[in-house]
Structure 1
Amino acid sequence: MKLLLKAVRIYDSTSPFHLQRQNILIENGTITSIGGDDHEADQTIEMEGLCVSAGWVDLYAQVGEPGLEHKEDIESLAAAAATGGFTDVLCMPNVQPIVQSKGAINFIKAKSAGLPVNLLPAGAVTVDTQGKELTEMIDLQRAGAVAFSDGAKPVQGAEVIVKALQYLQPFDGVLMNRPEHTRLTEYGQMHEGIVSTQLGMKGIPALAEEVMVTRDLQLLAYTGGRLHFSLVSTTAAVEAIRQAKAKGLQVTCDVASYQVAYTDDTIAPFDTNFKVSPPFRGEADRAAILQGLADGTIDAIVSGHQPQDTESKKLEFDLAEFGIINLETAFAVANNSMGDALPLEKLIEKLTNAPRQILRLPACGIAEGEKACLTLFHPDLTWTPTPESTRSKSRNSPFLGRELTGKVIGLVNKGHLVLNHSF
């Protein structure tokens, strides 16, 4: 099959065609021509303002299968990811049973093999994500785990962080950790501040994130290795990571795209669709995140996708589970919320090359002879996600029913063409 992408604007900093409008011809899943006149094709995609980049990579998503298929299964996660423009998604190990064996790694790989999205397994760092005994990470890496994390459960023990960093060094593995001191966040419901006091809710202090970032950076300096912080959210955390990078430590971090969409005083009070961990912080934290994205302190933008069923969310605020679905809306939310602070070119970089480098994935460029791994998007197109249109099994999102600017048109990956727009 021949597919022609006509006069698309290319976003690929590694390509000589970067920021140019060119025709791209794809034959049987391979890019065979860039530029030149029109080509004969079985299907042509043409749209004023259409852009293309290398396929987007998400570094943080929860998938329910196995064990929690009622919230999300592999097929629905892949469908949501494709709708959101992600060709590659790192799946956290928090399923039942935990992803801590070669069999669990092979299950994800086998079940997603025929799907248009690459589901990348993250192996658990500790047995049952209990933060005590290390898993057999070398075996998991050989089986196909591309990173190691306890996912939604932050690793608390300093001795575990040290051992894990040492264990991963022989194969240049990356340790991913959510920086949260769980004793300081116990029973917390939202960001600790004036608003939480006014609403009478137990707060989640910024300090709980900041002390763990500082500690883990000290441990990284002691042991060496590669450390990645998932879902950073506070001013002091961003500054500590900035200073660590200046010292030459191999540290990276990401932020959920929704983190700058709201602050603690703009969320709808007691609406559990706004209940997320880490929580929406204050305006100063939001500004610090935007600055960290602009100056390169924050390497990647992620979906932070955490599906929850209705029974987990339609409860009193303090009883509801944390989490937002965001695979389908991650780009649009970032495009809406970051404005001039993060130009589109930099935004795409944090969805493509940066996360690929963190996971040590093969390069994915827009060049003749390369396998087509592409995301098609329109940064100025408005649309409104609805409960009926979402491909996820869950509906826990504050963005449903909200008009957004910036839409994923489709993707080309693994020989598949997925379109979210009619031509």
Structure 2
Amino acid sequence: MKILLQAATIYNPQSDYHLQQQHILIEDGIITYIGQEAREADETVAAEGLCVSAGWVDLHAFVGEPGLEYKEDLHSVAAAAAAGGFTEVVCLPNVEPVVQSKGGVSYIRNRSLHLPVTLLPAAAITVGAQGKDLTEMIDLHQAGAVAFTDGTNPLQGADILLKALQYVQLFDGLLMNKPEHTRLTEHGQMHEGEASTRLGMKGIPSLAEEVMVTRDLQLLAYTGGRIHFSLLSTAAAIEAVRQAKAAGLLVTCDVASYQAAFTDATILPFDTNYKVAPPFRSDADVMAIKQGLQDGTIDALVSAHMPHDTEAKKLEFDLADFGIINLETAFAVASTTLRDVLTVEQLVDKFTSGPRRILRLPEPRIAVGEAANLTLFNPNATWTPTAEATKSKSKNSPFFGQQLRGEVIGTIHQGQVVLR
């Protein structure tokens, strides 16, 4: 099958055609022509403002399968990811059973072979993601785990993190940790500040994130190795990472693409679709996130996709689960809220080269003879997501009904074309 991308602006620094508008012909999943002359094709994608980049990579998504398929399964998450422009997605290990065996890793890899999205399994650091005993990380690495994390369970024990950092150096592996001191966040519902006091909710202090980032960086300096912080949200934590990078430590970090969309003062009170972990924080934290993205301290933007069934969200605020779905809206939310600090080129980098550098994945190149791993988008088009149109099994999103700027047109990956 021949597909022509007509007059597409290319965002791919690895390509000789970076920032140029070209026609791109793809035959059976391979780029066969790039140039100014239109070629005949079985299907032509011609859209105003059409842009193309290397396929986007998400570092942080929850996939319910196996065990929690009623929240999300591999097929629904792949459909949501493709609709959101992602061609590769890192899956958290917090399923039932936890991804902590070679069989668990292989299950995810094999099941995604014929999907339009490559699902990349992250394996647990500790057995059951309980923070006590280390898993067989060498075996899991050889089976295809791209990173190691306890996912939604932050590592609490300094001794466990130290041993894990030493262990993964045997194969240059990557540890990913969500920094949170759970004793300090216990029973917390939203950011600790004036808004939480006014609403009478127990707060989640910034300190809970900051002390763990500081601790982990001290351990990293002591042991060596590589660590990645997932879902940073506070100014002090971002500054700590900035200083650690300047000191030469191998540390990277990401933020949820929605983290700058709201503050604790702008969320709709008691609406559980605004209940996320870490929570929406202060204006100062949002400013720090924007600065960190601009100066490169923050390496990547992620969806932080956390689907929940109705029974987990339609509850009193203090009883509802944390998290929202965001695979389909990740780029648009970031494009809407961050375009005052990031150009389109910089924004695309946070979804393409940034995640690949962290995982040390090869960079797709838009060039003749290369396999097509592409995301098609219009950074300036506006659209409105709805619960009825979502590909996810779950509907927990604060962005339904809101007009967003930045629309995904489709993806081309593994020989499969998905157009919205």
Map of 1:241 onto structure 2: 241
Map of 2:85 onto structure 1: 85
Q: Equivalent residues in 2 for 1:18-37 (5 A)?
A: 18-37=18-37
Give 1:294 shift: 0.1
Query: What one-letter code is carried by the residue in structure 1 that aligns with 2:26?
Result: I
* CA deviation map 1:261-318 (0-9, x unaligned): 0000000000000000000000000000000000000000000000010000000000
Structure 1 distance, partners of 2:200, 2:218, is 36
SS state of the match for residue 347, structure 1? helix
Of the structure 1 ranges 106-115 and 387-396, higher mean CA displacement relative to structure 2 is found in 106-115
Map of 1:333 onto structure 2: 333
Map of 1:288 onto structure 2: 288
Map of 1:316 onto structure 2: 316
SS state of the match for residue 328, structure 1? coil
Map of 1:196 onto structure 2: 196
Map of 1:265 onto structure 2: 265
Give 1:90 shift: 0.1
* CA deviation map 1:30-73 (0-9, x unaligned): 11111131111111111121100000000000000111111001
Structure 1 distance, partners of 2:137, 2:10, is 38
> Which runs of 5 or more residues in structure 2 are unaligned?
none
Give 1:343 shift: 1.1
Q: Equivalent residues in 2 for 1:7-406 (5 A)?
A: 7-406=7-406
Structure 2 distance, partners of 1:203, 1:376, is 41
Query: What one-letter code is carried by the residue in structure 2 that aligns with 1:237?
Result: A
| TM-score in terms of structure 2 length | 0.99
SS state of the match for residue 287, structure 1? helix
SS state of the match for residue 397, structure 2? coil
Structure 2 distance, partners of 1:158, 1:86, is 34
Structure 2 distance, partners of 1:45, 1:308, is 35
SS state of the match for residue 340, structure 2? helix
Query: What one-letter code is carried by the residue in structure 2 that aligns with 1:401?
Result: G
Structure 1 distance, partners of 2:181, 2:303, is 22
Query: What one-letter code is carried by the residue in structure 2 that aligns with 1:175?
Result: L
Map of 1:415 onto structure 2: 415
Query: What one-letter code is carried by the residue in structure 2 that aligns with 1:123?
Result: A
SS state of the match for residue 135, structure 1? coil
Of the structure 1 ranges 42-51 and 183-192, higher mean CA displacement relative to structure 2 is found in 42-51
Runs of 4+ aligned residues of structure 1 deviating over 4 Å after TM superposition are none
Paired residues, what number? 420
SS state of the match for residue 169, structure 2? helix
| TM-score in terms of structure 1 length | 0.99
SS state of the match for residue 259, structure 1? coil
Structure 1 distance, partners of 2:171, 2:85, is 30
SS state of the match for residue 162, structure 1? helix
Structure 2 distance, partners of 1:339, 1:24, is 27
Structure 1 distance, partners of 2:232, 2:252, is 11
SS state of the match for residue 171, structure 1? coil
Structure 2 distance, partners of 1:351, 1:9, is 17
Structure 2 distance, partners of 1:111, 1:43, is 28
* CA deviation map 1:343-362 (0-9, x unaligned): 11101001001101111112
SS state of the match for residue 135, structure 2? coil
Structure 1 distance, partners of 2:313, 2:397, is 10
Give 1:218 shift: 0.4
Structure 1 distance, partners of 2:208, 2:410, is 39
Of the structure 1 ranges 31-40 and 257-266, higher mean CA displacement relative to structure 2 is found in 31-40
Query: What one-letter code is carried by the residue in structure 1 that aligns with 2:54?
Result: A
Of the structure 1 ranges 353-362 and 191-200, higher mean CA displacement relative to structure 2 is found in 353-362
* CA deviation map 1:58-104 (0-9, x unaligned): 00000001111110011000000000000000000000000000111
What root-mean-square deviation, in Å, do the aligned CA atoms of Structure 1 and Structure 2 show? Answer: 0.6
> Which runs of 5 or more residues in structure 1 are unaligned?
none
Give 1:158 shift: 0.6
* CA deviation map 1:141-182 (0-9, x unaligned): 111100000000000111111111111112111000000000
SS state of the match for residue 260, structure 1? coil
SS state of the match for residue 145, structure 1? coil
SS state of the match for residue 339, structure 2? helix
Structure 2 distance, partners of 1:48, 1:320, is 42
* CA deviation map 1:379-407 (0-9, x unaligned): 11111111100000000000011111110
Structure 2 distance, partners of 1:160, 1:31, is 46
Structure 2 distance, partners of 1:322, 1:206, is 17
SS state of the match for residue 266, structure 2? coil
Structure 2 distance, partners of 1:362, 1:55, is 12
SS state of the match for residue 8, structure 1? strand
Give 1:217 shift: 0.3
Query: What one-letter code is carried by the residue in structure 2 that aligns with 1:95?
Result: V
Query: What one-letter code is carried by the residue in structure 2 that aligns with 1:149?
Result: T
Structure 2 distance, partners of 1:91, 1:189, is 25
SS state of the match for residue 267, structure 1? coil
